[in-house]
Chain A
């Protein structure tokens, strides 16, 4: 900490420097009290005994500045309007340099290579009330997906298709900024990106989930599918984790078999019997996975942690199915990209997705087996 102009009668006249040489303090606490008028930084040892302190006033900030309630110490220059919570991670210049340098040398903070995922853990059937559910952990990122089916009526415009909706909720337990409306923007962004990647085009082509398979009686009765994602803990790469959780939850989903009891005529709704014993399983082989490539410096990495995401210039989330077709793409992050780089990213994502799909499938199979 920079030593301010020495003052007569100040508490830090000579004494502190004598103490500094006398004992070494391996651990300390920095207390920061920031108000609209002043900022006071106090360094103490772990028990709270003051070692040194400084305030904005002693550093030479004048009244005019303080009056405008400008925080004289931009402790954590968070780049405001954040599309991802990770931009809130406060890193020093040295740490930033370390992360960027590591990525350039293909060796990341946790020892991974640029295109290596963190170990992925899948648990299925964790929510008994839902028709299907799964929890996916990817390092410290922890998400839950649940699938609920309700009998409904297909819309008049598309009588042969059921409604599938994806909602994502960012819980304040994951990060304090998700409290109230703070998580809304991220939730919307994730929901839209997931819908784009999993549900295909307007006509339903390229959808991972076939909406026609959920129709019981065309134009009358269908199963409406509500897929809810919940972010419990966030350490980067939420979209990939949520897509994996949804895939796992859908393969865990059993939709009750429905028998049409009496065929209704005209506009009447037909009567249906919902079976308690027989369940229909989804074919989840066509559901794509999402691979997010985060561009840091000149290189791109998969499965970025929140520290790494704070250094990104832009990120591209690409959903790829088993056939190697791109089912959706979303660009996040502000900086522009050269078209040729995007095409290169798509081919890299296709390559990475093969391994991810195989890994995920074996994890899902293992989770299903352990559940039974």
Chain B
């Protein structure tokens, strides 16, 4: 699938770097290039499309480089009898990988934590009190894992929720940054992720400027944290615009 020419902004790279701190590339790592030829602060072109699955209440497909994700949303439906009474709605998230998602077959299947991370990233954005006693199911499937899987899953899931007409405060956009040596590399691919020194994932609601999920691994100093968070926030706001355009397109297409 490819984006329609001129309809969707092709990339959402943050432009903050040029504004505040010019010398990112130190002399000793000037020769270092990313495997796919991107700049350190350049994101992969993002492609989103809603309505990928017919039977679901809402669904979305996302493609960033080699990472391909499909998310369907079912519900809200009545919560299971065994569940306790709740005056707010429940969110049930599940992330799975296809057996052929990774270079080695069946390698990416053990991502149990992805489901709970997705749950926490979305929970803060959904108005759960609008559907009491009911459950919304979010099922995500990683068709091809090409790095930064979880951020793509989160962004795609929020788009699918919007497609399903679930009330939300804002779309949730997520971006990750990898720390390789002294460099911060946005939107890392699988190869970069495998030898990263640290990573940071940030999911936020761009128009409310609220962080719904944030995780770090590896050792970070305060200036690095600041820079990485600024990068992510800027990238998220741009990714949010791309997602919004996709929703608008889908809405205008259905009206015609």
Binary flags per residue of B48-87, CB closer than 8 Å to A gives 1, else 0 = 0000000000000000000000000000000101011111
Interface residues of B in 140-160 (CB under 8 A from A): none
CB pairs A–B below 8 angstroms (11 shown): A77-B87, A188-B116, A201-B198, A201-B219, A316-B214, A321-B219, A334-B123, A334-B124, A337-B214, A338-B211, A343-B229
Give Cα A327–Cα B225 distance, bound, in whole angstroms: 11
A203 near B: Cβ within 8 Å?
A: yes
Most chain-A Cβ atoms within 10 A of its Cβ — which of B87, B91, B124, B216? Answer: B216
* 8 Å CB interface, A176-192 against B: 185, 188-189, 192
Chain A residues near B (Cβ < 8 Å): 69-71, 74, 77-81, 83, 185, 188-189, 192, 196, 199-203, 205-206, 314, 316, 321, 325-339, 342-343, 346-347
B interface majority secondary structure: mixed
CA distance A321 to B225 in the complex (A): 15
Chain A: minimal CB distance from B176 (Å):
12
Choose, from B22-30, B202-210, B244-252, the stretch at the interface: B202-210
Residue of B193, B195, B213 near A331 (CB, 8 A) is: B213
CB pair A330 B215 closer than 8 Å: yes
In the bound complex, CA of A99 to CA of B221 (Å):
35
A74 and B85 contact, Cβ closer than 8 Å, known pairs A81-B91, A188-B112, A325-B219: yes
Which B residues fall within an 8 A CB radius of A?
A: 79, 81, 83-88, 90-92, 112-113, 116, 119-120, 123-125, 179, 193-199, 204-205, 208-222, 225-226, 229, 233
Smallest CB gap from A326: residue in B: B220
Q: Is the CB of A347 within 8 A of B222?
A: yes
**Given that A205-B218, A329-B216 are known contacts, is A337 also in contact with B210, CB under 8 Å in the complex?**
yes
Chain A residue at smallest Cβ distance from B87: A77
**In the bound complex, do residue A188 and residue B113 qualify as a contact, i.e. CB atoms below 8 Å apart?**
yes
Given contacts A188-B113, A326-B225, contact A205 B219 (CB under 8 A): yes
Residue from B193, B198, B217 having most chain A Cβ neighbours under 10 A: B217
CB–CB B220/A80 < 8 A: no
Report B163 CB to chain A, min CB distance, Å: 21
Let me know if B216 and A328 touch, CB within 8 A.
Answer: yes
| CB nearest to A157 among chain B residues | B194
Residue contact B194 to A202, C-beta cutoff 8 Å: yes
Interchain CB contact under 8 A, A192 and B198? no
List of B residues within 8 angstroms of A189 by Cβ = 113, 116
Question: In the complex, what distance in Å separates the CA atom of A304 from the CA atom of B122?
Answer: 24
Give Cα A333 to B212, complex, Å: 9
CB of A235 to closest CB in B, whole Å: 22
* Nearest 10 CB-CB pairings of A with B: A206-B219, A336-B210, A201-B218, A334-B123, A205-B197, A80-B86, A329-B216, A192-B113, A206-B218, A201-B198
Which B residue's beta carbon lies closest to that of A88? Answer: B84
* Chain B residues whose C-beta falls within 8 Å of the C-beta of A201 in the assembled complex: 179, 196-199, 217-219
Whether B215 contacts A196 by the Cβ 8 Å rule is yes
Say yes or no: B86 contacts A205, CB within 8 Å.
Answer: no
**A201-B198, A203-B197, A336-B205 known; A326-B219 Cβ under 8 A:** yes
**What residues of chain B lie closer than 8 Å to A71, measured between beta carbons?**
85
Min distance, Cβ B135 to any Cβ of chain A, angstroms = 8
Q: Assess whether A202 is in contact with B196, with CB atoms less than 8 Å apart.
A: yes
Look across to chain A and name the residue whose beta carbon is closest to the beta carbon of B215. A330
B86→A77 contact, CB < 8 A: yes
Which residues on the A side are within 8 Å of B197 (C-beta)? 200-203, 205-206
Whether A339 contacts B233 by the Cβ 8 Å rule is: yes
* Contact present for B199 and A79 (CB under 8 Å): no
Which residue in chain B gives the minimum CB-CB distance to A205? B197
Quick check: A200 and B218 within 8 Å, CB to CB?
yes
- Select B212's contact among A325, A336, A343, beta carbons within 8 Å: A336
Known contacts A199-B217, A201-B217, A206-B220; 9 additional CB pairs below 8 A are: A71-B85, A80-B90, A196-B217, A200-B218, A203-B196, A316-B214, A329-B216, A333-B120, A342-B211
Given contact pairs A201-B199, A325-B221, A79 touches B88 in the complex (Cβ within 8 A): yes
| CB-based contact B204/A336 at 8 Å | yes
Q: Which residues of B contact A70 (CB under 8 A)?
A: 85
Contact partners of B198 in chain A: CB under 8 A = 200-201, 205-206
